[in-house]
Structure 1
Amino acid sequence: MLTDIARIRRFNRAVTTETGALDDSFLGRGRPLGAARVLNAIGQAGEAGREVGGIRDFLGLDSGLLSRLLRGLEGEGLIEVGPHPDDGRKRLARLTAQGQTEFAAYEQLSDDRAAGLLAHHPRPRALLDAMDLVASALGQHRIEIMVEDPQAEDSRYCLEEYYAELGRRFDTGFDVNLSRDPDADSMRAPIGSFFVARSDGLPVGCVGLKGGQAFGEVKRLWVAPAARGLRLATRLMDALEAYARLLNMTVLRLDTNSALPEAVAMYRNAGWAEIDRFNDDPYPDHFFEKVL
């Protein structure tokens, strides 16, 4: 019988083999995975290139190893490394024309391998959900929270997932058009804000700060199922409260529904005080306030 530790080690071996981490020629392109990952990190930044320190932080590499990998890619004619145009103390790495061709080849091979894995699995959706869960757990300390336009692509993805979940969990379903500010116009600067959390580029959470009234209002707090239990909702709320203080807001309010007991419990445990109804939204039945 496999112990928990043995199961984790089995998983690690499977991932190492599948990703080609020990191959001298990752995806048959003539260089190991480390060099390919650095090339990918630069290529993902586009024509502008990527600051060397940013590559180091993104990949979690020490300076010595990164320098060796960069020199190797330079020697192949795939990248150019030079002074940052805005800060001479920093260095910027860009793909050459040959590097762009190599980057595109890696992208196609990686996409084809991923598509093949899904095509040959009997439950591809369950496989993807499991991968999201593992990736979110392993990368939890690298999750970034950024201010975004609520109509941007990643924002819309989070909001649609949020609406869909409410539709599944509310007995009456959910129609955002029956709520106030369905287009989130009041969640933009200078009166409000909208935050998106990303795990290695994948949007995994959001929350909005609605302004333009006598109090700030927390709206549309959502965390992807794969990222739950990692205190991401708390981090989103902390970011929102800090921003509310910058806008000189002194009182925040929010509403929620008893069909979301985990949300009700979180607000109570975080020091929010229950108050009387303060809006005519048809969905909520719990109302909270917090003095900043």
Structure 2
Amino acid sequence: MTTLRRFNRYFTRRIGVLDDHYLGQDRPLGEARLLFEIGAGASLRDLRTRLGLDAGYLSRMVRALESQGLVRVTVHPADSRLRLAEPTPAGQDELAEQNRRADDLAEGLLRGLSETQRGRLTEAVAVAERLLRLAAITVRTVDAASADARACLAGFAAELDERFPEGYDTADLVPPGRITAFLVAYEEERAVGCGALCALDTATAEIRHLWVHPDGRGLGLGRRLLTELERTAAERGHHVVRLDTHKVLKEAAAMYRTGGYTEIPAYDDNPHAGYWFEKTLPR
């Protein structure tokens, strides 16, 4: 924790976050970042969610950019409830200059490093970004019939329909009534993964429909969801968890094996299953 805070203080000072004239332009970081996020155009609702900003604070910053002639706000042509922010020609020029100065700043920071050192730094930053993204993701229990649950299951079914030689139909999904707990992973309030827990009996639970959105892969989110499902099963009094997977899902089978699961004989008649696994939970 101390190391992370020390790095945060050092890095924010080096890139000029504390300066009211970020990158030497006539605006603070907040306005400069908002102009960057607006890009070619974005709805205020999307900006509020993406940046985690209070609606009033976002409106004030947008008005400030409007008053400077950098942004114009219009009503969405297909939804009158949505307001769209898009850059004016002056805003496009400002954003182009912002990007040029940001590139110059990055180059200045790296100038004292060799190519090997730059490679090591790039790799370290990529690792830090993945871990910080994973740390910021929240996993919550939701209603199995909720919109987020249905969206995740639709993504899960569509992907398996492409990957399985025999295809996959949404009718093969576990009915919401059989699910005792449905977990959804959220990154900046966007559902990026899910997993379902079903009770086979008082001692044994089954994990179904463990899935991570393509945008959330490579972070370790699948293993985190698996761990959260195991914890939920233990909290509900189960001592054993079971699951199955298709033979084409080699990455899933590998994750289960390294996660302490043992291959067992078939315990159900799932037509898509090629491997069946079991794990005893710590009491």
Equivalent residues in 2 for 1:23-172 (5 A)? 24=26, 32-33=31-32, 95=56, 108-110=83-85, 112=86, 137=130, 139-172=133-166
Aligned position for 1:185: 177
Contact 2:154 2:170 in 1 (8 A): no
Distance 2:26 2:144 in 1: 44
SS of residue in 1 equivalent to 2:83: helix
Post-superposition shift, 1:32?
2.4
Residue 238 of structure 1: how far off its partner (Å): 1.2
Aligned to 1:272: 261
Which amino acid is the alignment partner of residue 207 of structure 2? V
1:254 corresponding residue in structure 2: 243
Q: Is the 8 A contact 1:166 1:173 kept in 2?
A: yes
Runs of 4+ in 1 over 6 A off after TM superposition: 34-37
Distance 1:168 1:35, change over 3 A: closer
Distance 2:183 2:165 in 1: 28
Name which one, 1 or 2, has greater alpha-carbon Rg: 2
Residues 219, 102 of structure 1: alpha-carbon distance in 2 compared, 3 angstrom cutoff: farther
For residues 200 and 273 of structure 2, what CA distance do their matches in structure 1 show?
A: 21
The answer to whether the Cα contact below 8 Å between 1:186 and 1:212 also exists between their aligned partners in 2 is no
2:272 corresponds in structure 1 to 283
With over 3 angstroms needed to count, the CA separation of the structure-2 counterparts of 1:34 and 1:186, relative to structure 1, is same
For residue 219 of structure 1, the aligned residue among 208, 213, 224 is: 208
Query: Structure 1 residues 142 and 258, CA, compared in 2 at 3 Å: closer, same or farther?
Result: same
Structure 1 residues 276 and 249: alpha-carbon distance in aligned structure 2, compared to 1, 3 A threshold: same
> After superposition, what is the alpha-carbon deviation per residue over 1:242-264, rounded to whole angstroms, capped at 9, x for unaligned?
11111010110001001100001
The secondary structure found in structure 1 opposite 2:229 is helix
Q: Distance in 2 between matches of 1:24 and 1:172?
A: 60
CA distance in 2, matches of 1:163, 1:178: 9
Q: Percent identity?
A: 31
The one-letter amino acid paired with 2:145 is: Q
Structure 1 residues 142, 284: closer, same or farther in 2, change over 3 A? Answer: same
Taking the aligned partners of 1:185 and 1:195, their CA distance within structure 2 comes to 15
In structure 2, C-alpha distance between the alignment counterparts of 1:102 and 1:212, rounded to whole Å: 57
Distance in 2, Cα, partners of 1:35 & 1:172: 47
User: 1:202: which partner in 2?
Assistant: 190
Distance 1:144 1:251, change over 3 A: same
Contact 1:139 1:200 in 2 (8 A): no
Q: TM-score, normalised by structure 2?
A: 0.58
Partners of 2:181 and 2:138 in 1: CA distance: 16
> 1:94, 1:158 → 2: CA distance?
28
Aligned length: 198
1:285/1:245 Cα in 2 relative to 1: closer, same or farther (>3 Å)? Answer: same
Look up the equivalent residue of 1:203 and give its one-letter code: A
The answer to whether the 8 A contact 2:134-2:220 is kept is: no
Distance of 2:270 and 2:33 partners within structure 1 = 52
- In the alignment, is the contact (CA less than 8 A) between 2:205 and 2:233 conserved in 1? yes
Q: 1:242 to 1:202 in 2, by over 3 A?
A: same
Question: How far apart are residue 174 of structure 1 and its match?
Answer: 0.4
2:169 aligned to which of 170, 175, 189: 175
Asked if 1 retains the 8 angstrom alpha-carbon contact of 2:262 and 2:279, the reply is: yes
Kept after mapping to 1: 8 A contact 2:48/2:55: no
Q: In the TM superposition, what is the alpha-carbon distance from 1:281 to its structure 2 partner?
A: 1.5
* Alpha-carbon distance between aligned partners in 2 of 1:102 and 1:148, rounded to the nearest angstrom: 37
- AA in 1 matched with 2:196: G
In 2, the alpha carbon distance for the partners of 1:151 and 1:102 equals 40
Structure 2 CA distance for aligned equivalents of residues 168 and 278 of structure 1? 26
Give 5+ residue unaligned stretches, structure 2. 1-14, 16-21, 38-43, 65-72, 75-81, 93-125
TM-score with structure 1 setting the length: 0.56
